[in-house]
Amino acid sequence: MRQGRSQRQRCERRWEVPPASRHLAWFARVAAFALLVSLQPIFAQAQAVGAKIDVVSNIVAPDDVEVVADAIPVPLTTEHPDARRGRAIVLDRANGNCLICHQLSVPGEQFQGTIGPPLDGVGARLMPAQIRLRLVDQSRLSPLTLMPPLYRTGHLTRVDARYRDKPVLSPIEIEDVVAFLSSLGK
Ligand code: HEC
């Protein structure tokens, strides 16, 4: 009997909580749940790209690039690439300067190099993910290559202080060039 009463008292005390704060507690719980649900796409996005992509800036940093076999399957940025911008970079003698080593059948482009293979038709020979690795760091495939790593900052020698810790091309520039080269030969 005594036990029964004390149990009832405890119950009563539990329900003595003023209704307003009970509502507040429920509201807090619902709000926390809603926040988790709304953040879910961001978590999912981060997971989808190997949890390496920076959710804020949407780029993969040079040290976080993941190589799978002879390719980099995940684009370096979620920004949309543009093949026309990529073409301009490839032809730009001051920036990429690709034609000092490579040939590309473009009218009016003289003095092209033959150190590297011709870029004509490269999109038919290589998948975009394979082209990406060759641009990012060809030395992963051939350690003594003359092709400069365009998206690597570590393990470089004789880098001028102005260019230290800066890759030759930005993530979107790499993706633009991947888009352009992938269109060659198709
Ligand atoms: C200093 C010379 C040099 C420069 C500059 C250069 N490359 Fe290369 N590239 C090479 C060489 C050499 C290879 C051959 C790969 C090797 O050495 O194993 C190559 C390979 C490649 C490949 C792979 C081609 C294939 O068929 O396998 C691509 C794609 C490529 N380069 C694109 C570029 C682009 C785009 C640029 C400019 C942004 C560029 N390269 C600048 C020398 C260069």
Element at 133 (helix H, strand E): helix 128-137
Query: How long, in residues, is the chain?
Result: 186
Residue pair 71/182 in contact (Cβ under 8 Å)? The answer is: no
Cβ(127) – ligand 1 distance below 6 Å: no
Residue pair 158/120 in contact (Cβ under 8 Å)? The answer is: no
Phi-psi group of 65: left, alpha or beta (phi > 0 → left; psi -120 to 50 → alpha; rest → beta): beta
**In angstroms, what is the span from residue 116 Cα to ligand 1's centroid?**
5
Query: Please, what is the end-to-end C-alpha distance for the chain in angstroms?
Result: 89
**In angstroms, what is the span from residue 19 Cα to ligand 1's centroid?**
71
Number of the ligand 1 atom closest to the C-alpha atom of 100: 5
pLDDT of residue 26: 79
Distance CA 113, CA 102 (A): 5
Residues in Cβ contact with 106 at an 8 Å cutoff, skipping those fewer than 6 apart: 91
**DSSP letter (8 states) at residue 140:** G
Nearest CA to ligand 1 atom 11: 116
Domain ranges of the chain: 2-48, 62-182
Cα-atom radius of gyration of the chain, to the nearest Å? 28
Token digits for 2? 């005594």
Cβ(112) – ligand 1 distance below 6 Å: no
pLDDT of residue 44: 59
Average pLDDT per consecutive 10 residues, the chain (186 residues; last block may be shorter):
53 60 79 74 57 74 94 97 97 89 89 92 98 97 94 75 80 98 94
Cβ(128) – ligand 1 distance below 6 Å: no
Token digits for 56? 């804020």
Cβ(59) – ligand 1 distance below 6 Å: no
pLDDT of residue 1: 47
pLDDT of residue 153: 85
Of 3.40.50.300, 3.30.300.30, 1.10.760.10, 3.30.70.120, the CATH number of 62-182 is: 1.10.760.10
- From residue 86, alpha-carbon distances to 97, 123, 134, 166, 178 in Å are 12, 13, 15, 19, 7
